[in-house]
Structure 1
Amino acid sequence: MEKSPRVLGRPRHDEKAKPTQEVVLLTATNLFIKKGYKNVSMDDVARACNVTKATIYYYYPTKGDLYTSSLVGMMERIRFHIEQILNLPNPFKERLEQLVEVHLSATVDIDMKNFMREATMNLSESQLKKVHASETAMYETIERSMQLEMDRGTIRQGNAQFFAHTFMVLMSVGYFKDGEGISLFQTSREAAKEITDFFWRSIEN
């Protein structure tokens, strides 16, 4: 856990032998992470990929389509890593703590709230449905784990969906910074322990 993990939502930056569409999506995702929706144009993506703008439009007819695919891809990668951690054999509380630490360390430069806010402002209804479906899948991964541990008697009986959403909200507290940019916690490990301990007291059997 000492080694800082790769950003969970960021695709691997290895363009060797990748199809053009994958390179375009990888590049656009990294640009959106750094600059946000409004500050990235299709021209920017084309230049960064060293392809024509027509090539970008061939795969993604609109900037909204490209942004949608970027968001969906990020959330699918995050969900995959969440599932991997929750399927480990160690005790449930340890898995939750590890999930918080890895998630906070590896998504430090991804402002998901801003991503979702920009999506709401700039995407069509059908595009938003795709984004929300991926977001729901992330929560459902945690929800299934909560339900499984209830069935095992590890945690108290309750609403698994409520537990999952509460856990994710508490995890976001780990990103908090005051007006001077000072974090609430000194390290991701400290945040993970405090957040998990607080959450665990509400669900322990």
Structure 2
Amino acid sequence: MKQSPRVLGRPRHDENAKPTKDIVLETATRLFIKEGYKNVSMDDVAKACNVTKATIYYYYPTKGELYTSALIAMMDRIKLSILQILEQSKPFKERLEQLVEIHLSATIDIDMKNFMKEAAINLSEDQLSQVHASENRMYQTIERAMEMEMDKGTIRKGNSTFFAHTFMALMSVGYFKDGDGNRLFQTEAIAAKEIVEFFWLSVQV
């Protein structure tokens, strides 16, 4: 039986290998984290993946689309991690501490503020809308947890959106370094304890 010709430009696919599209996205994300949007070209991504530039363009027609996908994938992973921690049965305050510690440890090399700044400058309105929708889904995971704890009486009644955004803003303090590069907190565990304690004072019943 004659084999159907490949669609023009479609990369060859090994059924036992990791999908090329996933490899491209993971590699590009690492490059964007390390070098920033402007300093990473599609050619750089192709070389790092050991594929042709045509392969990159087959999956991601523009660098903006690749950057959008990288941001969304990153926030989706963060959302999943948040959900897994918050669904545990341990006391809410302990879950929040674990969330901060794990989040800081896993994202210490990721400057989300800079990622979003570069997105605002370089992405189209539609791409930005996709990124913000993913960001909102991440916050909504925390909002729902806040609402559940309000209903249980663990924390005081209030605006869950405000609580969630305040908590995430406080968490970002864990990345702070002074002009000499010294961290505000020596370890993620210390940061988690201090941040959650500060947050807890404002939401406790």
Give the count of matched residue pairs: 190
Distance 1:174 1:132 in 2: 23
Deviation of 1:20 after TM superposition, in Å, equals 1.1
Q: Per the alignment, in what secondary structure is the counterpart of residue 134 of structure 1?
A: helix
Distance 2:58 2:177 in 1: 41
Distance 1:184 1:26 in 2: 30
Aligned identity (percent) is: 73
Determine whether 1:181 maps to 2:181.
yes
Deviations 1:103-145 (A, max 9, x none): 1111100010010000000000000001000100110000000
Equivalence for 2:124: 124
Deviation of 1:56 after TM superposition, in Å, equals 0.6
Equivalence for 1:19: 19
Determine whether 1:158 maps to 2:162.
no
Distance 1:28 1:166 in 2: 31
Distance 1:43 1:119 in 2: 20
Letter in 2 for 1:194: E
Deviations 1:23-73 (A, max 9, x none): 111111111111110110000011111111111111101000000000000
Distance 1:187 1:19 in 2: 37
Equivalence for 2:62: 62
Unaligned runs of 5+ in 2: 1-15
Determine whether 1:52 maps to 2:91.
no
Equivalence for 1:135: 135
Equivalence for 1:115: 115
Equivalence for 1:9: none
Letter in 1 for 2:198: F
Distance 2:29 2:132 in 1: 18
Equivalence for 1:149: 149
Distance 1:26 1:176 in 2: 26
TM-score under structure 1 normalisation?
Answer: 0.91
Aligned structure 1 segments of 4 or more residues deviating by more than 3 angstroms: none
Equivalence for 1:3: none
Deviation of 1:19 after TM superposition, in Å, equals 1.1
The Cα RMSD (Å) is: 0.8
Distance 1:129 1:49 in 2: 28
Of structures 1 and 2, the larger Rg is shown by 2
Distance 2:56 2:124 in 1: 19
Q: Per the alignment, in what secondary structure is the counterpart of residue 88 of structure 2?
A: coil
Equivalence for 2:101: 101
TM-score under structure 2 normalisation?
Answer: 0.91
Higher relative contact order (CA 8 A, sep 6+): 1
Distance 2:178 2:34 in 1: 22
Distance 1:83 1:126 in 2: 27
